[in-house]
């Protein structure tokens, strides 16, 4: 059952997953190379967060394999899974800072849980991480006192404090002002460089993603419809890709939710009203 692949840290193979009745993924496969930044692009509600949760073992696929460094994540026992999770971390869309802890304690939290380092070492480590995201001066603030961009930077510091091999970013740019966006892009880049870790970004912010990623998958309608380097995708002429990358309102992905023709519905409404009188 070992599928050791030296180039790829994560390999998703023939994954099918549904939330209850609703099919989210129909037999998708993708691989995430070590040390690189891989991006997964797709519109809202397509299942990007779901994919990250599948990789993290929080959800179980209907069928297919998810290999993390040779371990098939869905097959692991809870104990093995928890061991594996110490090697990965996830930056949640909302930041997910613990509201009852201040910035310092939030970043120190995983360290205190998983190591027995003396407090002075923790202090140094946390301050270094906060310095990296430019928030050393904010160590005493509570999460409620932070702006959205700052919260995400604290979350980034917390996610990287134990130097994980895999960092998963869930829509890191969504809802950020242009400056925070730029800051986050360069932070994610520098984190990847300095830690030598593997990064996965799921997002629908085409521009930022194409500027930062080494390799990009584009998802639509339960499948992967395109993949390649940012350069290759920019060259791609297929309608679906062009619509998504350029942000055109109508195209293969329709603007209108499927419905009966407007004329017919209006007539029915008018008919219903006069019948009611």
Partner 1 sequence: MIANALQQIGRRTFDVLATMGFAVMTYMKVVFGFSRMSVFVPLLIRQMYVVGVQSLLIILVSGLFIGMVIALQGYQVLVSYGAEGSLGPMVALSLLRELGPVVTALLFAGRAGSALTAEIGLMKATEQIASLEMMAIDPLRRVIAPRFWAGLICMPMLATIFTLVAIYGGKLVGVDWLGLDTGTYWSLMQAAVEWKQDIGSMLIKSVVFANVVTWIAVFRGYHAVPTSAGISKATTETVVQASLMVLGLDFVLTALMFG
Ligand X SMILES: Nc1ncnc2c1ncn2[C@@H]1O[C@H](COP(=O)(O)OP(=O)(O)O)[C@@H](O)[C@H]1O
Environment class of 163 (CB within 10 Å of its CB; exposed 0-12, middle 13-18, buried 19+):
middle
197 is an interface residue for ligand X by CB under 6 A: no
The distance of closest approach from Cβ of residue 131 to ligand X in the complex, given in angstroms and rounded to an integer, is 31
Residue from 49, 106, 180, 197 binding Mg ion (CB under 5 A): 49
19 is an interface residue for ligand X by CB under 6 A: yes
Per-state percent for the chain, helix, strand, coil, to nearest 5: 45, 25, 35
Q: Give residues in contact with partner 1 (CB under 8 A).
A: 53, 56, 58, 82-83, 85-86, 88-90, 92-94, 96-99, 109-110, 113-114
24 is an interface residue for ligand X by CB under 6 A: yes
The distance of closest approach from Cβ of residue 253 to Mg ion in the complex, given in angstroms and rounded to an integer, is 18
Query: Judged by CB, which is closer to Mg ion: 49, or 198?
Result: 49
Identify what 92 binds: partner 1, Mg ion, ligand X, none; CB under 5 to 8 Å per kind.
partner 1
Q: DSSP letter at 222?
A: T
Residue 58 · residue 253 · CB < 8 Å: no
**Contact stretch for ligand X (CB under 6 A) within 19-27, 139-147, 232-240, 241-249:** 19-27
Q: For residues 34-53, which are near ligand X according to CB under 6 A?
A: 44-50
223 is an interface residue for ligand X by CB under 6 A: no
CA angle, 165 as apex, 161 and 166 as ends, to 5°? 95
Binding footprint of Mg ion, residue count (CB under 5 A) = 1
Residue 168 · residue 56 · CB < 8 Å: yes
**Contact stretch for Mg ion (CB under 5 A) within 42-50, 129-137, 150-158, 264-272:** 42-50
- The values of phi and psi at residue 253, to 5°, are -90, 110
Residue 42 · residue 48 · CB < 8 Å: yes
Nearest Cα to Cα of residue 57 among 19, 88, 32: 88
Nearest Cα to Cα of residue 49 among 228, 230, 229, 172: 172
Identify what 94 binds: Mg ion, ligand X, partner 1, none; CB under 5 to 8 Å per kind.
partner 1
**Contact stretch for Mg ion (CB under 5 A) within 49-57, 131-139, 158-166, 233-241:** 49-57
Nearest Cα to Cα of residue 52 among 202, 227, 203: 202
Beta carbons within 8 Å of 78's beta carbon, 6+ residues apart: none
The distance of closest approach from Cβ of residue 41 to ligand X in the complex, given in angstroms and rounded to an integer, is 10
The distance of closest approach from Cβ of residue 214 to partner 1 in the complex, given in angstroms and rounded to an integer, is 24
Query: Judged by CB, which is closer to ligand X: 254, or 261?
Result: 254
Q: Which residues bind ligand X (CB under 6 A)?
A: 19-20, 24, 44-50
């Amino acid at each position: 059952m070992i599928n050791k692949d030296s180039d790829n840290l994560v390999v998703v193979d023939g994954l099918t997953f549904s939330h209850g009745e609703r099919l989210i993924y129909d037999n998708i496969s993708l691989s995430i190379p070590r040390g690189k930044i891989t991006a997964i692009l797709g519109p809202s509600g397509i299942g990007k967060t779901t994919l990250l949760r599948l990789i993290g073992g929080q959800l179980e696929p209907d069928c297919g394999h998810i290999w993390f460094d040779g371990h098939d994540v869905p097959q692991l026992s809870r104990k093995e899974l928890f061991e594996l999770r110490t090697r990965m971390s996830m930056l949640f869309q909302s930041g997910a800072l613990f509201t009852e802890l201040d910035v310092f304690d939030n970043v120190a939290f995983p360290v205190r849980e998983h190591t027995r380092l003396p407090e002075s070492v923790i202090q140094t480590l946390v301050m270094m991480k906060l310095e990296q995201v430019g928030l050393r001066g904010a160590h005493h603030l509570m999460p409620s006192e932070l702006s959205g961009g700052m919260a995400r930077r604290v979350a980034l510091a917390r996610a990287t404090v134990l130097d994980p091999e895999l960092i998963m970013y869930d829509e890191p740019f969504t809802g950020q002002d242009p400056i925070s966006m730029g800051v986050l892009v360069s932070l994610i880049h520098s984190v990847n460089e300095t830690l030598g870790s593997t990064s996965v970004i799921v997002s629908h912010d085409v521009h930022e993603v194409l500027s930062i990623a080494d390799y990009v998958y584009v998802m639509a309608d339960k499948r992967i419809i395109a993949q390649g380097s940012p350069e290759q995708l920019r060259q791609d002429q297929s309608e679906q890709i062009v619509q998504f990358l350029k942000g055109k309102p109508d195209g293969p992905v329709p603007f209108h939710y499927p419905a009966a023709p407007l004329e017919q519905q209006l007539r029915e409404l008018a008919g219903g009203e006069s019948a009611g009188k």
